[in-house]
């Protein structure tokens, strides 16, 4: 191989991978660093890459694309994995893979490389994305090849190769983290015992519900075709809107979950996540759908959602089945236009209002008062009898069998 595009964060692991690729494969390495709103200064990654002799360095601001083309489509589906996880890490991987392949084509690279371990889901997500977009690409996954399988060995290699090792990276880290504009995750080491509560000092995007303000925060979110477009009457771009929701949710102790999830590679894994803005957005979107979607399409969406969420979790964003489900989901969103009012209070998202010009809610029909003939209650008798026909037939038949046995 002559040239490899490496997904590069500038941290210790990917810096070691960069040097290892240069030594092991004797190839030119191109680095790619994606700004997905992780909240870190990315310029040091450029400086480290330059110090290690990298000539082609890509640092791309993908925040708006990430939210507009990946997060928002996923939230149109109300996607939740195993009942609680809002897929913050999962949804970032296909965009990174896509851009990495674009760069590989641009610079004429033979291969791409990533820093995901051989135990996790991310190796699958990255590589399924690579192969879907460039079937003949070569993939290098150093964690599946080298013997640097401990923090001590990793630091030793770094020191031998002249790679600076921060004091904070020596010894075993208390946990690993991964962040983007949608969420931040915490996994491993101190969190591996699912009985032990995480330390409060770990959290970075939200206050604890106990420390949240005693006064609730009210917020209004406007939607167009299923996507949020404004907060409290102010139109915002995709990344700015999610950033604002993160701030509002985090300030009110919203969006923390502590789960044991089923990894695609087969093991159970304990993870702690902060998704303040996404949690607010999910409640708001479902509230608006409750008045804008017909019962049939709403219920069918809920039936399709677990499969859609599983496809994203497992790395099949670019699969035809995910795209097929997306087309069906998006067809329902044409009428999801309107306004939702929420009360944020001590970890809770409480829907207190929703309205839409496309609303299917009719107060005259729903009212317990005189509806002026909009609904004839006598019609319910025939409806119930028809619904009960098979149950009555079944019960009668079983009674005859019971009598015969007697």
Q: Is 93 assigned a catalytic role?
A: yes
- What is d(CA 306, CA 299) in angstroms, rounded to the nearest whole number? 12
Residue of 9, 63, 90, 93 with catalytic role: 93
Asked whether the CA dihedral 391, 397, 399, 401 is positive or negative, the reply is: negative
Q: How far apart are CA 299 and CA 302, in angstroms?
A: 5
- Alpha-carbon distance of 38 to 56, in angstroms, equals 23
Interatomic CA distance for residues 239 and 139, integer angstroms? 31
The phi-psi region of residue 315 (left if phi > 0; otherwise alpha if psi is between -120 and 50; otherwise beta) is left
Place of tokens 């420390």: 211
Q: Interior CA angle at 66 toward 284 and 254, to 5°?
A: 35
- The whole-angstrom separation of Cα 155 and Cα 168 is 11
Nearest one of 365, 225, 220 to 292, comparing CA atoms: 225
Catalytic residue (choose from 64, 69, 110, 176): 176
Q: Is 258 a catalytic residue?
A: no
For 117, counting Cβ atoms within 10 Å of its Cβ (0-12 exposed, 13-18 middle, 19+ buried), the class is middle
**CA 83/CA 265 separation, integer angstroms:** 19
Q: How far is the C-alpha of 133 from the C-alpha of 61, rounded, in Å?
A: 21
Q: Tell me which of 9, 13, 15, 322 is the catalytic residue.
A: 13
Taking a C-beta distance cutoff of 8 angstroms, is the pair 76, 68 a contact?
no
Residue 270 β-bridge partners: 260
Query: Is there a contact between 95 and 35 (Cβ–Cβ < 8 Å)?
Result: no
Is 176 known to be catalytic? yes
Closest CA relative to residue 318, chosen from 132, 80, 125, 45? 132
Task: Establish whether 201 is a catalytic residue.
Answer: no
Give the residue among 159, 148, 139, 154 at the shortest CA–CA distance from 7. Answer: 139
Which of 15, 76, 122, 185 is the catalytic position? 122
8 Å CB contact between 95 and 70:
yes
- Residues marked active site are found at 13, 93, 122, 176
């Amino acid at each position: 191989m002559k040239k490899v595009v490496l997904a590069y964060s500038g941290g210790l692991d990917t810096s070691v991978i960069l040097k290892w690729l240069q030594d092991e494969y004797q190839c030119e390495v191109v680095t790619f660093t994606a700004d997905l709103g992780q909240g870190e200064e990315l310029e040091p990654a450029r400086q480290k890459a330059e110090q290690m002799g990298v000539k082609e360095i890509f640092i791309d601001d993908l925040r708006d694309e990430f939210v507009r083309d990946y997060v928002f489509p996923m939230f149109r589906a109300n996607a939740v994995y195993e009942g609680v996880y809002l897929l913050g890490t999962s949804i970032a991987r296909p965009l990174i893979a896509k851009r990495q392949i674009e760069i590989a084509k641009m610079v004429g690279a033979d291969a791409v490389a990533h820093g995901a371990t051989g135990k996790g889901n991310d190796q699958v997500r990255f590589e399924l994305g690579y192969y879907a977009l460039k079937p003949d690409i070569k993939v290098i996954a150093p964690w599946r090849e080298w013997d640097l399988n401990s923090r001590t060995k990793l630091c030793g290699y770094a020191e031998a190769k002249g790679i600076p090792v921060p004091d904070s990276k020596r010894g075993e880290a208390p946990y690993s983290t991964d962040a983007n504009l949608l969420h931040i995750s915490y996994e491993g080491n101190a969190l591996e015992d699912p009985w032990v509560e995480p330390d409060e000092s770990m959290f970075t995007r939200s206050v604890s519900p106990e420390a949240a303000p005693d006064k609730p925060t009210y917020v209004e979110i406007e939607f167009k075709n299923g996507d949020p477009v404004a907060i409290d009457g102010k139109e915002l771009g995709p990344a700015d809107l999610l950033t604002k929701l993160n701030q509002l949710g985090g300030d009110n102790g919203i969006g923390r979950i502590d789960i044991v999830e089923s990894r695609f590679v087969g093991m159970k894994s304990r993870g702690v996540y902060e998704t303040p803005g996404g949690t607010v957005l999910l409640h708001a979107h479902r509230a608006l759908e409750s008045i804008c979607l017909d019962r049939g399409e709403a219920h069918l969406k809920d039936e399709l959602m677990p499969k859609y969420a599983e496809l994203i979790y497992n790395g099949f964003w670019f699969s035809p089945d995910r795209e097929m489900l997306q087309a069906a989901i998006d067809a329902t969103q044409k009428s999801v236009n309107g306004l939702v009012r929420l009360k944020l209070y001590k970890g809770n998202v409480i829907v207190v209002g929703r309205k839409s010009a496309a609303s299917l809610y009719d107060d005259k029909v729903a009212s317990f008062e005189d509806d002026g003939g909009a609904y004839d209650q006598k019609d319910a008798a025939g409806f119930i009898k028809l619904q009960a026909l098979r149950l009555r037939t079944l019960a009668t038949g079983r009674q005859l069998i019971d009598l015969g046995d007697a």
